[in-house]
Chains A and B, each alone.
Chain A
Amino acid sequence: MEILIIIIIGGIILYLVFQDKTGEKYKKGIAALQADNLDLAEQYFKEISGKHKEANSKLEEITFKRGEISENTGDLEKAYEYFSTIQRTNSQAAERLVEIDFTRGLSAKKSGDFDAAYNFFSKIASSSKKAFFEASKIDFKRGVTAEFSKTYSIAKEYYSKSLLYKDDEKIHYGSICRNLICDLKSGSLPAKNEVSEIYKSPVDEKLKNDFLYRYAVKLIKSDKLTYASEIITNKLDNSFPEVEDLGSFVSNYKKTQLKNIIQEINKSLFSEERNSLLLETLYNKIEVYKYIIEEFPEYSSSIFEIQKNLFGKLISQYISEQEFEKCLEHIISFPNFYDNIELLKNAAICCIRLALGNRISENNYKLIIAIWLTAIYNDDIFINSLETTTWDDEYTFTFGNVHIEPKEIASLGKYSSFLFDISLENINREKPSDTNIPIGGAQRELLQLFESSLNNIHPEKTNKTIHGFYMAEKGAIDRLSKTLGYDVLYCTPEFAKHFKISKNILKYLNYKYEADKSEIILDLGAKYISLAFNKTGGVQLQDSSVFEKYASSLHYLEYILDSIKAKYNYKYEDYKDVLNRYESIKIKFEEQALRILSDFAHSNDEDEKLIELMTKVFKALPTSERLGHFIADYITTYCIEKINSKSISEPKALEYLINSILVSPENHKTAKNLAIFISLNLADYTFNSKVKSLIPKLKEIESECLYDSFQMELLPLRNELKELMRKPNINYTRVSETINIIDELVNAVAPV
């Protein structure tokens, strides 16, 4: 023990002695440092390194001082060496290193060694703005050098680097501009947005004019003369004689183009040889050079008149060459062609010829049918037809209308004379006769002619699709013509959507809806709506109009019905609101869901899965008595069959029967069978327990017929059990319990 105490005391004494020595050396080191005797100071601090906490930082300070001394004496290499050793822990040293690199870069640049200078500047560009600037300047200069040697892709690489320096507008925008000049020099045309950036930005005037001049020349060579003129007139500095000359050149160049077109017109149009290709080429050429032609009003009206003439000639030519697809395409390329009775009629002729020639396919049927029906439902076409011939002058023609018997004589559309100015002397609405010819008759004959041609479409699946589409389109335009007045073009939904004219129809249908509030109008309007969908396939409402909302509900209805058809076990009750929003949609859902489920019931062998599906479907429309009745019937029949064949447990059957009475409380078949089933099985203890557990469910039901059935089937049993209680050797507890269950059951469904 004593020895231990001696050792401890000894240790403490030694520690104090050495501690005192370390402190002394530190003080000496500080004194040496203050006297700038760095070597001596370094010696002291090294000796106590690891023993004194400040020793290492003092050593770092000595190294920094040495670096400073080297730097001041111009020995940058040595200074760099000193600062490098402590740069990780000393931020000032790191800054000094950047400064040294920058200085070295400047001196390399001064001596003409741009590679070395660039290396120094780029090394520190991320931490020194001025180095970044210097590096960018070198990049720019290298770009210029590359441009001189016509290596434009290399030049672009340099300019792409130098333009990154945004603090100096001159270099930044100068680089962008030279970059675009390189694009032009290498044969590509910069994008318009890049060019407009040059107009807006503070680019050096000389560079800007060089670029814009080149750009204008390039545009001229690419036949973009209008844009070239705009650049020359509005963007280039017109004080340059070269710019003035370029302007004159463009003006003359346009005249030459115009002259060429006119010469071509004169040559083609008045030559004997004529075919659709020739007319087509000429028509398209006028279209392409429209922008130049428009600049010469003294010639433009004649040229455009000829183009209009060519348009008509092309139609005749296509028809005579039986090029009906091309002809149709040509006609519908005319803006709002449907407002021109002649064009609409010619389009219809193409459609019927395509139909009669069995040239309707899956690819073109929609537009052909839409155009055909729209034309035939246009009474004006037929009036116009009467105007082009004189044979009909001795007759009168009637549009008939709903007031004239027989009703089918009435014309299909509604005659509206606002589209053109004609004499109406031989048009009336009187009863048809041998001399008062019904227009409606001709319209119907044409429709039948078209319909008969649809029968020739093969295969059957395509025929069915096309026929279904035809009937839907016809149904819609027929309803539209009977719903709206004269102010709107009657067209089919596909026509309206294809040519984007639904808005007007919907406007008028909306007036009608506002007045009638009829869902029939909503249903019609919905056919003219093009729904938009989000990424998950949900409907994205565009204007939330009444028609769009109805169309959206219709879409979901189709979706749900398709899902039921595919037997998807969805949570259909999530669509309850959508289905219940409109009475007509509710009815459609009820009818179609019934049809689908009925088909399944007749063919399905997965009965329990079907019961599950039916129950889920019912939750989408729980107010439907028809649906409930059908489902309850199905489940009851199923249970009876399974009970008789002993392929279902009694508790399971009981659960099914109670569920079925829940969906159809007044279903006599279910109620009676449930009551009989319970009465037959009450003697079973397990069954009794199940009955007891299901009584709360029965309390939810208001069902007179179940109450009646229970009274009829269970009360006699109860009386029998009461009688039994009077006899000896009976399990009174069980019997009494069964009587209680009967009472509970009857009370559960008793009318309140």
Chain B
Amino acid sequence: MQLNIFKLVRMKNPYEVLSVAQNATKEEIQKAFVRAQMENIKTRKYEGKELMEARNQLMIPAKRLVADFLFPAKIKSKRPKPIDISELEIQGNIDVNILNENALDSLKYSLNYV
């Protein structure tokens, strides 16, 4: 049941290597492995043993648990809806520069304050 640690260190995402979904069954993985081997003859994208390692990683459940931990399935979240702001009414000028800070000025009053 022991995994080869050094293989795992340089391991790529086995789901990506074989182009299979995170939920793929054993049969689907086997098929994907054969398909990937065929394609790889043309593309030379992976080394042969990388494909084999990816297959083994996904075929053995305990290893697949580790792969799922390291490369978790992307959970599709609900796309949020745009927020409607048509009812957000704003009245008057909201430029802060028009604010008169001297509106309640008390300087003249202070002249005769004491």
Q: Please report A residues at the B interface, Cβ cutoff 8 Å.
A: 137, 140-141, 144, 147-148, 170-171, 174, 178, 181, 184, 204, 206-207, 209-210, 213-214, 217-218, 220-221, 240, 242-243, 246, 248-249, 252-253, 255-256, 258-259, 262-263, 265-266, 269-270, 299, 302-303, 305-306, 309, 312-313, 316, 345-346, 348-349, 352, 356, 381-382, 385, 388-392, 395, 437-439, 441-442, 445-446, 448-449, 452-453
Q: Which of these, B62, B85, B92, contacts A437 with CB under 8 Å?
A: B62
Which residues from B are CB-within-8-Å of A309?
A: 77-78, 80
CB–CB A144/B111 < 8 A: yes
Which residues from A are CB-within-8-Å of B99?
A: 217, 220-221, 246, 249
List of 6 A-B pairs having minimum Cβ-Cβ separation, nearest first: A210-B106, A442-B65, A242-B103, A213-B104, A217-B101, A437-B61
Since A248-B92, A252-B91, A252-B94 are in contact, a sample of 19 more A-B pairs with Cβ atoms closer than 8 Å, ordered by chain A residue number, is A209-B104, A209-B106, A221-B96, A221-B99, A242-B100, A302-B80, A305-B80, A313-B77, A389-B22, A441-B62, A442-B62, A442-B69, A445-B3, A445-B62, A445-B63, A446-B66, A446-B69, A449-B3, A452-B6
Min C-beta distance of A229 to chain B, whole Å: 14
Min C-beta distance of B84 to chain A, whole Å: 9
Instruction: Please report the C-alpha to C-alpha distance between residue A305 and residue B83 in the assembled complex, in whole angstroms.
Output: 11
Instruction: Please report the C-alpha to C-alpha distance between residue A144 and residue B109 in the assembled complex, in whole angstroms.
Output: 10
Decide yes or no whether B38 CB sits under 8 A from chain A.
no
Which residues from A are CB-within-8-Å of B1?
A: 438, 441
A262/B85 contact (C-beta < 8 A), A144-B110, A269-B80, A385-B68 known:
yes
Decide yes or no whether B43 CB sits under 8 A from chain A.
no
Which residues from A are CB-within-8-Å of B82?
A: 266, 269-270
Min C-beta distance of A266 to chain B, whole Å: 5
Which residues from A are CB-within-8-Å of B72?
A: 345-346, 349, 385, 388
Min C-beta distance of A249 to chain B, whole Å: 7
Contact with A along B21-49 (1 / 0, CB 8 A): 01111000000000000000000000000
Min C-beta distance of A444 to chain B, whole Å: 9
CB–CB A389/B61 < 8 A: no
Q: Name the residue on B nearest A395 (C-beta).
A: B61
Min C-beta distance of B110 to chain A, whole Å: 5
CB–CB B83/A265 < 8 A: yes
Which residues from A are CB-within-8-Å of B90?
A: 252, 255-256, 259
CB–CB B94/A303 < 8 A: no
CB–CB A137/B96 < 8 A: no
Instruction: Please report the C-alpha to C-alpha distance between residue A312 and residue B8 in the assembled complex, in whole angstroms.
Output: 27
Q: Name the residue on B nearest A215 (C-beta).
A: B101
CB–CB A207/B110 < 8 A: yes
CB–CB B75/A449 < 8 A: no
Which residues from B are CB-within-8-Å of A218?
A: 101
User: Can you report 18 A-B residue pairs in the complex whose CB atoms are below 8 A from each other?
Assistant: A140-B114, A144-B110, A144-B111, A181-B106, A204-B113, A240-B103, A242-B104, A246-B103, A259-B88, A269-B80, A269-B82, A312-B77, A345-B72, A388-B75, A438-B1, A438-B62, A439-B65, A445-B5
Which residues from A are CB-within-8-Å of B85?
A: 259, 262-263, 299
CB–CB A391/B101 < 8 A: no
Which residues from B are CB-within-8-Å of A243?
A: 104
CB–CB B88/A147 < 8 A: no
A213/B69 contact (C-beta < 8 A), A253-B96, A388-B75 known:
no
Instruction: Please report the C-alpha to C-alpha distance between residue A213 and residue B105 in the assembled complex, in whole angstroms.
Output: 9
CB–CB B109/A206 < 8 A: yes
Q: Considering residues A214, A302, A442, which has the most beta carbons from chain B within 10 angstroms of its beta carbon?
A: A442
CB–CB B83/A262 < 8 A: yes
Q: Considering residues A148, A221, A391, which has the most beta carbons from chain B within 10 angstroms of its beta carbon?
A: A391
Which residues from B are CB-within-8-Å of A210?
A: 104-107
CB–CB A452/B70 < 8 A: no
CB–CB A213/B103 < 8 A: yes
A252/B92 contact (C-beta < 8 A), A204-B113, A312-B77 known:
yes
A445/B66 contact (C-beta < 8 A), A214-B101, A252-B90, A452-B5 known:
yes
CB–CB A144/B107 < 8 A: yes
Which residues from A are CB-within-8-Å of B6?
A: 452
CB–CB B77/A137 < 8 A: no
Instruction: Please report the C-alpha to C-alpha distance between residue A90 and residue B54 in the assembled complex, in whole angstroms.
Output: 109
CB–CB B114/A170 < 8 A: yes
Min C-beta distance of B31 to chain A, whole Å: 14
Instruction: Please report the C-alpha to C-alpha distance between residue A316 and residue B73 in the assembled complex, in whole angstroms.
Output: 11
Which residues from B are CB-within-8-Å of A181?
A: 106
Instruction: Please report the C-alpha to C-alpha distance between residue A259 and residue B8 in the assembled complex, in whole angstroms.
Output: 50
A453/B9 contact (C-beta < 8 A), A140-B113, A349-B72, A391-B23 known:
yes
CB–CB A148/B80 < 8 A: no
Min C-beta distance of A341 to chain B, whole Å: 12
Q: Which of these, B61, B73, B101, contacts A184 with CB under 8 Å?
A: B101
Instruction: Please report the C-alpha to C-alpha distance between residue A184 and residue B104 in the assembled complex, in whole angstroms.
Output: 14
Which residues from A are CB-within-8-Å of B65?
A: 382, 385, 437, 439, 442
CB–CB B75/A452 < 8 A: no
CB–CB B96/A174 < 8 A: no
